[in-house]
Structure 1
Amino acid sequence: MDADRSKVMAYRILAQQLHRVDLPPAELAVLDLGVQDTPYGAARQALAARTSKPVDDAALRLVWSHRGAPHLQRTTDLPALAAALWPVSDADAAARFVTTPVKAAAPLGVDAYRQTAEAFRAVVGAPMLKGEVSTAVSARIDPTLTLDCRPCGARHISGALFQLAGLAGGVGLRVDGSATVIEPLADRGTTPKKMAGLDAVIRAYLRLLGPATAAEVAKFVGTTQAHLKPYWPDDLTEIRVDGRKAFLPADAVDAFAAAERPDAVRLLPPSDPFLQARDRALIVPDKARQGEVWRILGNPGAVLAGGEIAGTWRAKSSGRKLLTVTVTAFGKLPKNARDAIEAEAEVLAGVRGVAGAAVTVE
């Protein structure tokens, strides 16, 4: 099948339910992959862009999952997800966590994950501050997995490995004011012995952010294409997007073919699932605009309007009374978009616990 980028954008908006559906948040399609929570609170804003139903806190859990980043995931999915994100080999493990300061740890491979996961299980029996857990875990693992930290004035575990192994170690996290608290999951499962279920992650990415390539999925997972390829599903449909080969699950092809650009206007938070696709040039073709949406530090939110990313937004609250949302448009906004943006700003204010919102469009 041949398609252009406008068809892909229309499909992804619908596949991710950005037309807003009447479902509990835990039943949203994006939870098949998880919703990144960077900065803290962004995940709940992403859910509110898709449903007006309240979040059931027992059904969702904040954990370190894909690439060690904090994600809201379904509580019932966590044991299987821990196995799906387990490295497939020693080389894969090293590719995921080894950086220059811990280069000597590369030969440990999967054992680095195992040591760290088991240390979490031994140390975290009750809620603990992140720094306390880091110190205790560091004392239980191979010294090559630790590094000297000038700000702390101590030697502790690599931050990448610490977060990558957290889910396998049966821990979740929550934010309490300015502190990160690590606590045991209700169902800790067991430390994975080997990877199982990576194909489910691949399919979820392709269904939500496809058509896509193996290289794009590997980048999302945090591994390399070579390590991902042996687990690539064999029942996918090839879609050529503007001449570029990509893939979609076979059972999603009819929805893709029927997708039409919706008129939904949404204020997407910085780490919204829609912005997690690794083909950024398709989402925002203008390279300069890409730099405005995806910054090295401090990403803004993105305005979805007319089936396109039409601008960026930032918000500032004045206590609990008013949320001021400033929109920087990339050009002329679609007709009636201003009214819709104001309505979405009220939704955003509600998620943040603020009484009302005011919008400025630049």
Structure 2
Amino acid sequence: MDVSRDAAIAYRIHAQGLHRRSVADAAAVLDLGVQHHQSSVPVALAARLPEGAALDGELAWTHRGAPHRHTSDLAAWARRLRPLSETDAMARLIWTTEQSAAFPALAGIDRTAEVLQAVVAGPMTKGEVSTAVSRELPRELQRDCPSCGVWHVFDQLLRLAGLPAGITLDGGRTLRALPAPPGWVRPSGVGAPEDVAELVTAAVRVLGPATTADLAAWAGTSAGALAPAVEAAGLVAVRVEGRRAWMAPDAVDRLTDPPVPPGLRLLPPFDPLLSARDRALLVPDAGRRRALWPALGHPGAVLAGTDVVGTWRPTASGKKLTLAVTASGALPRDLLDEEAARVAAARGLRLGGVSVS
């Protein structure tokens, strides 16, 4: 089945609830996870939820070790995010062969999770957690940090061990780790392909058709390491703009005639629509991709139809929020102001104005 770029993006927009027709569609996105970065979660939900609707969930270090808010059972995600092999664990930790020889990557995740569950007895900042965990870990699981002047646990190791340990985050301005719930059972050993297949299937349902390499990059591992889960998922092959990609069997028909995308949406940095790794499909123009995904300081995206037509950056002053929009063409001012007001409200502020350049 051949799928055009517009059809693939239109499917993604619909699957992610950006039409604001159904709380269930927005819930599917939050089920997979919305990355937490400043006010990204409430703004992402404001772009999707009908007026007056609300969703909540739990925050934890999940995909790629980044904090994500989820509505679904975190114990299930702990199983779905288990590395499938030592090679997989090394890829997720960005660990070398020498490091794995000194202390196997998967065993390192499990050992750190064991320590985390023991030392996090109440709300603790990440620095406090790192200090407490580092006291109990062997030197092979730590690095010499010149800026701190001490040895401490590898940051990505700490993050990837958080979910197996049942650690959640409080979601405040300064994230604090919270203890595992009573009765939490740490998963251990290699992951089961059928469990990780649930992750792969959930991802293509929300993100749309994806290659194995795209899925692996999104999950923070290598294509070869993730391949057993992709095979176990029983996905259907389609071709998007000449590239072979995977799709959930019961969602393929929706690629043929997806609903017309909404006129305008303002998406925050790290929005789920921007999280897939086929960036050249979403934003074909290389210059616009560089503007949307710079090395530092990501802006929000202006989505019109199936195209990202600009970026936006907020400035808060007192109780007011102003937005500076950079667009490649004219934007419908009424829709822009309406969406900007939603962004401000999601952040608990009033809209002070919108400038466009």
Query: One fold, TM greater than 0.5?
Result: yes
Q: Is residue 290 of structure 1 aligned with residue 289 of structure 2?
A: yes
> What's 2:61 paired with?
64
Q: Is residue 225 of structure 1 aligned with residue 223 of structure 2?
A: yes
- Please report how far the alpha carbon of residue 307 of structure 1 lies from its aligned counterpart in structure 2 after TM superposition: 2.0
Structure 1 residue runs of 5 or longer lacking an equivalent are: none
- Please report how far the alpha carbon of residue 85 of structure 1 lies from its aligned counterpart in structure 2 after TM superposition: 0.8
- Please report how far the alpha carbon of residue 357 of structure 1 lies from its aligned counterpart in structure 2 after TM superposition: 3.7
Which whole-Å CA distance do the structure 1 matches of 2:123 and 2:98 have between them?
Answer: 28
Q: Measured at CA, do residues 243 and 173 of structure 1 come closer, stay the same or move farther in structure 2, by a change above 3 Å?
A: same
- The TM-score normalised by the length of structure 2 is 0.93
> What's 1:213 paired with?
211
> What's 2:185 paired with?
190
> What's 2:163 paired with?
167
- Please report how far the alpha carbon of residue 258 of structure 1 lies from its aligned counterpart in structure 2 after TM superposition: 1.8
Paired residue secondary structure (1:317)? strand
Determine if contact 2:316/2:322 at 8 Å carries over to the other structure: yes
- Please report how far the alpha carbon of residue 204 of structure 1 lies from its aligned counterpart in structure 2 after TM superposition: 1.2
Determine if contact 1:270/1:301 at 8 Å carries over to the other structure: yes
- Please report how far the alpha carbon of residue 34 of structure 1 lies from its aligned counterpart in structure 2 after TM superposition: 0.5
Which whole-Å CA distance do the structure 2 matches of 1:125 and 1:202 have between them?
Answer: 33
- Please report how far the alpha carbon of residue 191 of structure 1 lies from its aligned counterpart in structure 2 after TM superposition: 1.1
Which whole-Å CA distance do the structure 2 matches of 1:21 and 1:125 have between them?
Answer: 42
Deviates more, 1:199-208 or 1:238-247: 238-247
Which whole-Å CA distance do the structure 2 matches of 1:289 and 1:225 have between them?
Answer: 27
Paired residue secondary structure (1:220)? helix
Which amino acid in structure 1 is aligned with residue 203 of structure 2? Y
Which amino acid in structure 1 is aligned with residue 63 of structure 2? H
Determine if contact 1:349/1:356 at 8 Å carries over to the other structure: yes
> What's 1:271 paired with?
270
Which amino acid in structure 1 is aligned with residue 351 of structure 2? G
Summarize the alignment of residues 1-362 of structure 1 with structure 2, pairs less than 5 Å apart: 1-23=1-23, 28-37=27-36, 39-51=37-49, 52-57=51-56, 60-74=57-71, 76-99=72-95, 103=99, 107-177=103-173, 179-186=174-181, 189-194=184-189, 195-196=191-192, 197-232=195-230, 233=232, 235-320=234-319, 322-333=320-331, 337-362=332-357
Deviates more, 1:103-112 or 1:270-279: 103-112
CA RMSD across the alignment: 2.0
Determine if contact 2:90/2:100 at 8 Å carries over to the other structure: no
Determine if contact 2:27/2:55 at 8 Å carries over to the other structure: no
Which amino acid in structure 1 is aligned with residue 350 of structure 2? A
- Please report how far the alpha carbon of residue 40 of structure 1 lies from its aligned counterpart in structure 2 after TM superposition: 2.0
Paired residue secondary structure (2:214)? helix
Determine if contact 2:9/2:208 at 8 Å carries over to the other structure: no
Which whole-Å CA distance do the structure 2 matches of 1:264 and 1:146 have between them?
Answer: 50
Q: How many residues align?
A: 352
Q: Measured at CA, do residues 105 and 133 of structure 1 come closer, stay the same or move farther in structure 2, by a change above 3 Å?
A: farther
- Please report how far the alpha carbon of residue 234 of structure 1 lies from its aligned counterpart in structure 2 after TM superposition: 5.3
Which amino acid in structure 1 is aligned with residue 201 of structure 2? R
Paired residue secondary structure (1:168)? coil
Alpha-carbon displacement from aligned partner over 1:86-138 (angstroms, at most 9, x marks no partner): 11122221221144798366641211011110111100111112211111111
Q: Measured at CA, do residues 6 and 114 of structure 1 come closer, stay the same or move farther in structure 2, by a change above 3 Å?
A: same
Deviates more, 1:186-195 or 1:97-106: 97-106
Determine if contact 1:342/1:357 at 8 Å carries over to the other structure: no
Structure 2 residue runs of 5 or longer lacking an equivalent are: none
Which whole-Å CA distance do the structure 2 matches of 1:285 and 1:152 have between them?
Answer: 41
- Please report how far the alpha carbon of residue 236 of structure 1 lies from its aligned counterpart in structure 2 after TM superposition: 2.1
Alpha-carbon displacement from aligned partner over 1:136-181 (angstroms, at most 9, x marks no partner): 111112211101112222110001111111011111113444x331
- Please report how far the alpha carbon of residue 53 of structure 1 lies from its aligned counterpart in structure 2 after TM superposition: 4.1
Which whole-Å CA distance do the structure 1 matches of 2:263 and 2:226 have between them?
Answer: 35
